Amino acid sequence: MMERYDVVVIGAGPGGLAAATSAKQHGAERVLVFDRNCYCGGVLNQCIHDGFGLVRYKEALTGPEYAEKACREADKANVEIKTGAMVLSISKDRVMSVVCGNGFMKVQAGAIVLATGCRERTRGAISIPGTRPAGIYTAGVVQNLVNIKNIMIGKRVVVLGSGDIGLIMARRLTLEGAKVLAVIEILPEPCGLQRNISQCLYDFDIPLYVSHTVSRIIGKRKLEAVEISEVDDNKQPISGTERIIECDSLVLSVGLIPENEVALTAGIALNEKTNGIITDDYLQSSVPGIFACGNCRSVMDLADLVSEQGEVAGANATCYIKGEKMKIYMEKQSVFKKGFPEKGTVTCPLCPNGCSIGEYGEKVVGNKCKRGELYFRQEQIDPRRTLTTTVKGIDGMLHPIKIENVRKNELFYKIQNLDKN
Amino acid sequence: MIHMSLMITDVLIIGAGAVGCAVARELSRYKLKVVVVDKEYDVAAGTSGRNSAVVHAGFNNKPGSLMARLCVEGNAGFETLCKELDVPYKKTGKFVVAFDEEDQKTLQIIYKQGLNNGCKGLRILDGEELKRRLPDVGGISAMESIDTAIFDPFLYTVALAENASCNGVLFRFGEEVKNIEKIEGKERERYSVTTDKRTYKARYVVNCAGVGSVRVAQMLGFNQYKLYPCRGEYLILDKIAEKFLQVPVYPAPKKGIGGLGVHLTPTIHGNIIIGPSAEYIEDGEDYSSTKLIIDKLFDEAKKLLPTLERKHIIGAYSGIRSKQAPPSEGGFHDFLIQEEPECKGFINLIGIESPGMTASMPIARMVCNIIGHSIDLNPNLSFNPIRKGILKFSDQNDEEKDRLIKINPEYGEVVCRCQNVTKAEICQAIENPLGVKSIASIKYRVWATTGRCNGGYCFARIAEILEKDYGINPEDITLRGKGSEYFIGRVK
Ligand SMILES: Cc1cc2nc3c(=O)[nH]c(=O)nc-3n(C[C@H](O)[C@H](O)[C@H](O)COP(=O)(O)OP(=O)(O)OC[C@H]3O[C@@H](n4cnc5c(N)ncnc54)[C@H](O)[C@@H]3O)c2cc1C
Ligand SMILES: Cc1cc2nc3c(=O)[nH]c(=O)nc-3n(C[C@H](O)[C@H](O)[C@H](O)COP(=O)(O)OP(=O)(O)OC[C@H]3O[C@@H](n4cnc5c(N)ncnc54)[C@H](O)[C@@H]3O)c2cc1C
Ligand code: SF4
C-alpha cells in the first residue's frame, strides 16, 4: 500500500525544516520530511562556528544551535520526520521512491518541497593539472571530518579559494594545530565575508594571495607540494611567477553547486549556468506542485535567509493543495559585506550590517549603533573572540562547544586546556 | 642482517595488471603453484586501470602481427569471458570518422586491413548516413565496426585476479621485484627472485611488469629491450554528457602518431572520456595531467562533438603506453612474448600496449602453451571459471530492492549519492577476496566516489565505515596503500 501525505519535504536542513513547519502552520494535515542523514539539520551540524541566526533569532548561534532551534520548531508543529531515508526519484504525479533501513517504499504527496541543499565543486570541476595523490579534500569534507568524524587531515595546509567555508576551515585547522600556509584566490578580491577575512585569517596571520591559483599538484602517492602562480586578467597562470609550497593537504573551497539529482528525475528544469532549480514567483518549479527552497534553488550564504525562503515554499505548497492563492516570494540578498575589510577599520560582527568602524581623530566613525563603538574600543585595548571547537564526550563522540569572550591572544591556550575548564 | 623469508613456487608472475592476472587465471586451470607479485597495493594500479576501456576489433593492427591475431581472438571471446567473470560489458560498436579526403583514404586502408585481419562487421558509411546515425558528431564519412565493445577494465582485472585467487593463486601486493638470479642445475628452482620483502624460488618467471618490464628483464641481463614511455591524458565528463554519445567515436588515425588519436568514448558507467594524447616522457610512472593537454583535449573533442561544454568535465587521468617504437619512428612495434632461449623458464612480455586489454586472454593462453611445452600441465579438477561480482543495488527493480533491504538493512543506506552505492555494497568491496582495503580499491570495485561530486559526500562516509566497522585507524586509511595516507590521526 502506498502512503499518502499532504506535503512531503525532501531534506531536513534549515530550508526543509522551515518549509515543513510552515506547511503545518498553514493547515496541511499530514506533513513528512525525508532526510538521508541519520540526523536533522542538514549541513549546519558540521558548521560548529558561530554567526548563524543574527537575522532570524537576533543572536549569534553556532550551526548546531541553529539546527536545534529549527528542529524544535518542526517538532512543536508536529511535523513527521524520517531520517536515514533517501529519496531516489520522483514521478510527475508526485510519487517518490524512497529507500531506508526498513525497505523500499513509495510515498505520494499532494505537494512536494525540494530542500536538498548543495554540494561542493571539486578539483575535477576546475581541472587543476598535476598528479592525483592523497591529500586533496574539499572544505566541506574537511569540516565534516574534523568536526564530526574526529579525523585530522594534516600538518601543513594550503587552502584554494577564499569562500567562507575555506576561511572558516583555515581557522579551525589552525586552532587544531595545523599550519595553514596560504589561502589562494584566483580573483583580485577574496569572496568570503569581511568578518571571516579578518577573524579567520588576519587574527592568525594566515597569508592570503589574491590573483593567484594553484597551477600544479605535486606528489605521486601523497601530496608533497603545490605550485602556485599569479594569474592574468583571463585567470590564466602567468609563466615565470610559479612558486612551490610544500604541504601535505590541499583544501578546496571553490564554490557550491545546487544538489539536484532527485529534481532531475522529476524532469524539473534547472538553470543551465548555476544548476539551481528554476522557480516562479511562488517558489514553484517547472513541474506544478513541486516547490523548491534553499541551496538547491540557488546557493545562499546565510542560513537565516534559507529558513525564511523555506517558510514561503512550505506555505505555498499548502496553498497549492488547498487551491488557495499563493504568496509571492521576494528575493533577499545577504547584507553582509564581502571582500577585503576596509583599511584601518574593524568589521563589526555583532549584526548583519557588519559596519566598518574606524577612528577619525578621537571620534569613532562608521558604526551604525552604539554597540559597534563599544566593540571597536574593546578591539583596541583587549580584543575578544568567541571560541568554537569540539570536546570528546564520554560517549566517544565529538560535541561542539562555544566559549564567549576569550582573549584573542589566549585562544590557543584555551583550546589546549579545555579539560581544565 | 634482516631475515628474508623464502617461498617456493612453480610460477612467479611479476605484475598484477590485466596481463599478469589473465596469465594467473589461465594457469589456475592446472595443478601448479602460482604466485603473483606487484609493487602496488591492488591489481590494475598501472596501465590496466588507465586506458580507453575499449574491446578493440583488430582493424588497426598490421596484418600478420601478434597484435592483430590476438586482438581479433580476444574480441571474439570477450563477451563470454565477461559473462563468466561478471564484468560489465556492452557491445556498442564504434565509428571511425573522416574529416577530409586524406582521412577517407585512411578509412579505406584500415577497412581492407580489418578484413585481412579477420574482423567482421565492418562497414563504410557516407556522410548522410553518418549525420543520421550520429547527429551531434561532425565529419564527412565514417567506418562502423559492429564488434567493438566497451567494458570496465578495472573490474575486469579484479575479476581475473579474484577468480585466479579462488582457484588457488596467491597474490602478494606491495612487493617490488628488485633482483633476479638464475640458479644453475636445479630444475624446479631455476630462478631466485628477490623483492623488498622476501625471496621466491621459481621454476617459471613470467615478466608482466608493463612499463617496468624492461627493468625486470635487465635484472637477468637482457639489455637489448627498450621501452619509450608515452603518456596519454584523458578528461572525464559528467554523466549528463551521456545523452550526446553512446558509441565510441574515433577520428581516422593520422600517420606516424603513437596512438589512435584523441577519441570520445562512453564508459560502461555512463560517463564520456576524451583522450588520449600522446607525449613521450622520461618517467614511466608520471601519471600527471598537464594544462596544455587538458586544453588541447577539450578543443579536439569539441571538433568531434561541437555541443560539448567545459563544465561537463569532472575529472582527468592518464595512462602510459609501453612503446617499443622510439619517438623518431612512431607507430607500433609488435608485442614481444617469448621464453628466452638462453634462460629456460623465463618468459618476457614486453611492449604490451594497445590492444593489450583486449588481447590479454589470448596472451595468457600463449604463455600457458609456452609453459606446456616443457612440462605436463595437469588439470586442476576443482577449477571453477565462474566469479560473482558485487550485486549492484541501483540496477535492481523495486521489489528486489525491498527484498534486499529486508535481508540486509545496509542496502537501505545509500553511501555514494551520485552513483547510488549502498553501504552493503561498500562493505562487500572492503571484504574483497584479495584483501585490499584502500579508498581506491573500494572506489573501483563499486564505483563509489566517482560521480560528479568526486566523493564529496561519500569519501568521509567510507572513511568512517573503514574506521568504525573494520577497526582501521584513521592514519592507516590510504588512497592506494602505503605512502598514500590521507590522515594524521584524531583531532581529540
Ligand atoms: C560545507 C558547507 C558549509 C557551510 N557553511 C555555512 C556557514 O558557515 N554559514 C552559513 O550561513 N551558511 C553556510 N553554508 C550554507 C548552508 O548550506 C546554508 O546556509 C543552509 O544550511 C542551506 O540549507 P538547505 O536547507 O538549503 O540545505 P542543507 O542544510 O544542505 O540540507 C539539505 C538536506 O537535504 C538532504 N537531502 C538531499 N538530497 C536528499 C534526498 N534525495 N533524499 C533525502 N534527503 C536528501 C541532505 O542530506 C541534507 O540534510 C554552508 C554550506 C556547506 C555545503
Ligand atoms: C592511453 C592508453 C589507452 C589504451 N586503450 C586501450 C583500449 O582501449 N583497449 C585495449 O585493449 N587496450 C588499451 N590499452 C592498452 C592496455 O591498457 C595495456 O596493453 C594493458 O593494460 C597492459 O597490461 P599489463 O598487465 O601488461 O600492464 P600493467 O597494467 O601496467 O601492469 C603491470 C604491473 O606490473 C607492476 N610492476 C612493474 N614493475 C614491477 C616490479 N619491479 N615488481 C613488481 N611489480 C611491478 C606494476 O605495478 C603494474 O601493476 C591502452 C593503453 C594506454 C596507455
Ligand atoms: S555597529 Fe551596530 S549596526 Fe553596525 S554591525 Fe555593529 S551592531 Fe550592527
Per-position pLDDT tens, chain A of length 421: 689 999 999 999 999 999 999 999 999 999 999 999 999 999 999 999 998 999 899 999 999 999 999 999 999 999 999 999 999 999 989 999 999 999 999 999 999 999 999 999 887 767 899 999 999 999 999 999 999 999 999 999 999 999 999 999 999 999 999 999 999 999 999 999 999 999 999 999 999 999 999 999 999 999 999 999 999 999 999 999 999 999 999 999 999 999 999 999 999 999 988 999 999 999 999 999 999 999 999 999 889 999 999 999 999 999 999 999 999 999 887 777 889 998 889 999 888 888 999 999 889 999 999 999 999 999 999 999 999 999 999 998 999 999 999 999 999 999 988 865 5
**Ligand 1 environment, Cβ below 6 A:** A 10-16, 34-37, 42-44, 47, 52, 86-87, 115-118, 140, 143, 164-165, 168, 256, 259, 262, 294-295, 300-303, 306
pLDDT score, position B258: 54
The verdict on A214 and A301 lying in the same domain is no
Q: Do A390 and B412 touch (CB under 8 A)?
A: no
Give the whole-angstrom CA distance, residue B448 versus residue B425. Answer: 9
Using CA positions, which residue lies closest to atom 4 of ligand 1? A165
Helix A139-147 × helix B458-468 angle, to 10°: 30
Strands B228-237 and A80-83: unpaired
**Domain encompassing residue A243:** 122-252
Final residue in a domain of this structure, among A223, A252, A281 = A252
pLDDT score, position B269: 86
pLDDT score, position A122: 82
Residues from chain A contacting residue B236 (CB–CB below 8 Å)? 124
| Residue B407 CA: distances (Å) to CA of A14, B402, B421 | 34, 9, 17
Give the whole-angstrom CA distance, residue B458 versus residue B28. Answer: 37
Q: Do A149 and B460 touch (CB under 8 A)?
A: yes
Answer whether residue B455 shows pLDDT above 90.
no
Residues 6+ apart with CB under 8 A from A178: A152, A153, A154, A155, A156, A157, A249
Structural fold of domain B90-150+227-323: D-Amino Acid Oxidase; Chain A, domain 2 (3.30.9)
Answer whether residue B122 shows pLDDT above 80.
yes
Residue ranges of A 142-201 with Cβ closer than 8 A to chain B: 144-146, 149-155, 176
Cell of A410: 589566549
User: A88 in contact with B at a CB cutoff of 8 Å?
Assistant: yes
The verdict on A297 and A222 lying in the same domain is no
Give the CATH number of the domain where residue A261 resides: 3.50.50.60
Residues from chain A contacting residue B457 (CB–CB below 8 Å)? 119
Give the whole-angstrom CA distance, residue A304 versus residue A310. Answer: 10
User: A222 in contact with B at a CB cutoff of 8 Å?
Assistant: yes
Confidence (pTM): 0.93
Q: Do domains B90-150+227-323 and B393-476 have the same CATH topology?
A: no
| Residue A72 CA: distances (Å) to CA of A69, A315, B97, B306 | 5, 19, 62, 52
Final residue in a domain of this structure, among A228, A252, A276 = A252
Segments making up each domain of chain B, as ranges: 1-89+151-226+331-389, 90-150+227-323, 393-476
First to last CA, chain B: 40
Å from CA of B429 to ligand 1 middle: 29
A144, closest residue in chain B (CA to CA): B460
| Ligand 3 touching residue A366 (CB < 6 A) | no
Q: Select which of B56, B263, B312, B333 is catalytic.
A: B56
The verdict on residue A71 lying in a domain is yes
Q: Do A151 and B398 touch (CB under 8 A)?
A: no
The verdict on residue A260 lying in a domain is yes
Q: Do A129 and B287 touch (CB under 8 A)?
A: no
Residue ranges of A 382-411 with Cβ closer than 8 A to chain B: 390-392, 398
pLDDT score, position B2: 53
Let me know: does A181 contact A245? Beta carbons within 8 Å: yes
Within 10 Å of residue A131's Cβ, how many Cβ atoms? 18
The verdict on A35 and A60 lying in the same domain is yes
Give the whole-angstrom CA distance, residue B476 versus residue B313. Answer: 31
Using CA positions, which residue lies closest to atom 41 of ligand 2? B177
B393-476 carries CATH number 1.10.10: yes
If pLDDT is split at 50, 70 and 90, which confidence band does B308 have? confident
Mutate to test the pocket of ligand 2, among B52, B59, B60 (most ligand atoms within 8 A of CB): B52
The verdict on residue A297 lying in a domain is yes
Let me know: does B49 contact B158? Beta carbons within 8 Å: no
Residues from chain B contacting residue A133 (CB–CB below 8 Å)? 479, 484
The verdict on A103 and A210 lying in the same domain is no
Radius of gyration of chain A (CA): 23
Let me know: does B371 contact B11? Beta carbons within 8 Å: yes
Give the whole-angstrom CA distance, residue B117 versus residue A198. Answer: 70
Mutate to test the pocket of ligand 3, among A337, A345, A371 (most ligand atoms within 8 A of CB): A371
Cell of A255: 564554490
Residues from chain A contacting residue B486 (CB–CB below 8 Å)? 134-135, 153
Give the whole-angstrom CA distance, residue A11 versus residue A113. Answer: 9
* Best CATH choice for the domain B1-89+151-226+331-389 from the list 3.50.50.60, 3.30.450.40, 3.20.20.70, 1.10.940.10: 3.50.50.60
Using CA positions, which residue lies closest to atom 6 of ligand 3? A372
Say which DSSP state A201 is in.
I
Final residue in a domain of this structure, among A207, A233, A252 = A252
Domain count of the fold of chain A: 3
Say which DSSP state B3 is in.
P
Within 10 Å of residue B40's Cβ, how many Cβ atoms? 24
Give the whole-angstrom CA distance, residue A190 versus residue B337. Answer: 58
| Residue A235 CA: distances (Å) to CA of A197, A211, B55, B302 | 22, 8, 40, 22
CB pairs under 8 A between A and B: 148
| Ligand 3 touching residue A368 (CB < 6 A) | yes
Q: What angle is formed at CA A272 by the lines to CA A271 and CA A274, rounded to 5 degrees?
A: 65
Answer whether residue B215 shows pLDDT above 90.
yes
Q: Do A130 and B288 touch (CB under 8 A)?
A: yes
Å from CA of B255 to ligand 2 middle: 24
ipTM above 0.90, yes or no: yes
Helix ranges restricted to H, A49-132 = 63-76, 123-126
| Residue B152 CA: distances (Å) to CA of B96, B97, B269 | 21, 24, 8
Residue ranges of A 59-78 with Cβ closer than 8 A to chain B: none
Tracing cell 590476438 back to the chain, one arrives at: B70
Say which DSSP state A13 is in.
S
Helix B18-27 × helix B360-374 angle, to 10°: 50
Give the whole-angstrom CA distance, residue B179 versus residue A304. Answer: 65
User: A103 in contact with B at a CB cutoff of 8 Å?
Assistant: yes
DSSP character string of A132-180: --B-EEEHHHHHHHHHTS-EE--SEEEEE--SHHHHHHHHHHHHTT-EE
pLDDT score, position B1: 46
If pLDDT is split at 50, 70 and 90, which confidence band does B451 have? low
Cell of B352: 604490451
DSSP character string of A358-387: EEETTEEES-SSHHHHHHHHHHHHS-EEEE
Looking at all shown ligands, the one closest to residue B348's CA atom is 2
| pLDDT tens digits for range B71-83 | 999 999 999 999 9
Give the whole-angstrom CA distance, residue B100 versus residue B87. Answer: 38
Total residues belonging to chain B: 492
B56 flagged as catalytic: yes
pLDDT score, position A418: 82
| Residue B397 CA: distances (Å) to CA of A89, B89, B412 | 13, 20, 14
pLDDT score, position B245: 80
Q: Do A36 and B417 touch (CB under 8 A)?
A: yes
- Closest CB to B464: pick one of A36, A149, A215: A149
